[in-house]
Amino acid sequence: MKSALNGALKDLSLLGKNMGFDEPAFAMRSGLDDLTVVDAYDPLMFARSVKTPTELELLRRSSRLNETAIHQTIASWDKGATWRDLNIAYATAVAELGGFVRDPGGMVWGHPRGTEETIMLATGFEDTEVEAGTHVMFDCHGTIDLYCWDGGKCWVVDGEPANGDVQKWAAATSAVWETLLAAMRPGAKVRDLQSIARDTYRKAGVTDPDRAVIFFHGLGLSHMELELMTSSGERPGGNWTLEEGMVAPIHLLYPGSEHDRSWCEEVVEICADGGKPMFSWGPDPLVGSA
C-alpha cells in the first residue's frame, strides 16, 4: 500500500505538499514519503453533510435493505428463539440482500429484561430467550457499497402493545415522529427539534416527558458526517442546523421495562417542505411474528 500510494502522489506531483485526510492516522500509518499530513476531518464532513442525488439514492437503497432485513428477522422468530438467534437471522438476511454487518452484529441496543429500564448497548454475548410480549428495540447498522444504514423501530414480539400506559407511550412516540417530520426543514436547529419533541411527549400525557431520549446525527459514508469543529474554530456541539439535502436519523426512546419501552428510529431526508422518511413502515410499533 505504501508503494502504491507514494507512486500515486508522485504521479500527481503532490510529494512535498500539505495534504488533508479525514483519517490522519491512516496517513501516518502508511508512512507516506515527504508529505505533511493535515487533519481535514471537519472540512470533509462539512462537504459530505449535504448529499448529492446519487448519494441520496444510495442511502434510500441501504434503508430499504435494512427495513427488509428487519422484517425477515421478525418472520424468523419462533418460541424459544434467543437474542443470538435474532442476531444471526439479521446478519443472514443482510448478507443475502447484498449488505454487510460487522461482528458482533448489526443490532445496537441491549435489551434489559424484567423491570430493568437501564439504557445499554448490545455486547454480542446476549443469548437469553426472546419471549412473546418483549419490546425489541431494533437499531440496526451496516453498509452496502460503502454507504451506511441506520435505523429501526420497536417490535412487540408475537403481540401488540398492552393496554393503558403502554399504548399511550407508543402513541406518544408516534405523535413525536409525525411532529418532527413536519418541523425538519432547512434552517431548523437540533436543540429546537429536541424541545419540540419533548413538548409533544408532554402534550401526549406520558408520565415523565423528561425521561425521553431524543437525538439526531448525520448519516452516509462514515455514519456520522458532522463537523466536530467549525471553520471558525467553534464546537458545533448538538445544535447544528439542518440544510436541504442532509440526511438525519431521528432517535426516539421512552424508556421502560421489557414490556413497556417505546422506540422509533427514522431516517429523514431534509426537504424544503419538511422531512421525508426513508422507511415505508410509518411510526407505529411492529407487531406480531411476521
Give the domain ranges of the chain: 2-39, 46-288
Helix (H, G, I), strand (E, B) or coil at 261: coil
pLDDT 10s digits, 35-76: 889 999 999 999 999 999 999 999 999 999 999 999 999 999
First-to-last alpha carbon distance for the chain, in angstroms, is 47
Split at pLDDT 50, 70, 90, the class of 177 is: very high
> Does the pLDDT of residue 256 top 80, yes or no?
yes
**21 Cβ neighbours under 8 A, 6+ residues apart:** 27, 37, 38, 39, 40, 41
Q: How confident is the model at residue 269 (pLDDT cuts 50, 70, 90)?
A: very high
Check residue 278 and give its pLDDT.
97
> CA angle, 270 as apex, 264 and 273 as ends, to 5°?
110
State the greatest distance between any 2 C-alpha atoms of the chain, in Å, as a whole number: 69
CB burial of 191-205 (b: ≥16 within 10 Å; e: otherwise) equals: eebbebbbebbeebe
* Residue 193 and residue 209 in contact, taking contact as beta carbons nearer than 8 Å: no
Three-state SS at 118: coil
- What pLDDT is attached to residue 227? 86
SS3 of 274, please? strand
**Of residues 203 and 29, more confidently modeled:** 203
Q: Angle 214-203-270 (CA atoms, 0-180°, nearest 5)? A: 45
Q: Rounded distance, CA 258 to CA 213, Å? A: 16
What is the three-class DSSP state of 160? coil
Rounded-to-integer distance, Cα 131 and Cα 135, Å: 9
Q: For residues 31 and 116, which has the higher predicted lDDT (pLDDT)?
A: 116
Residue 251 pLDDT > 70, yes or no? Answer: yes
Q: Which three cell numbers stand for residue 229?
A: 469543529
Cell representation of residue 60:
434510500
Q: Name the H helices within 145-261.
A: 165-183, 190-203
Question: What pLDDT is stored for residue 230 in this prediction?
Answer: 75
State the pLDDT confidence band at 236, using cuts at 50, 70 and 90.
low
pLDDT given at position 104: 74
- Tell me the percentage of the chain whose pLDDT exceeds 70: 99
Q: Which amino acid is at 71?
A: H
CATH superfamily of 46-288: Creatinase/methionine aminopeptidase superfamily (3.90.230.10)
Query: What is the reported pLDDT for 290?
Result: 63
Peptide bond into 236 cis (omega under 30): no
Integer Cα distance of 220 and 145 in angstroms: 11
Q: Are 1 and 11 in contact (CB under 8 A)?
A: no
Answer yes or no: is pLDDT of 237 > 70.
Answer: no
State yes or no: pLDDT of 100 exceeds 80.
yes
Asked whether residue 182 carries a pLDDT value surpassing 80, the answer given is yes
Whether 154 and 135 have beta carbons less than 8 Å apart is answered as: yes
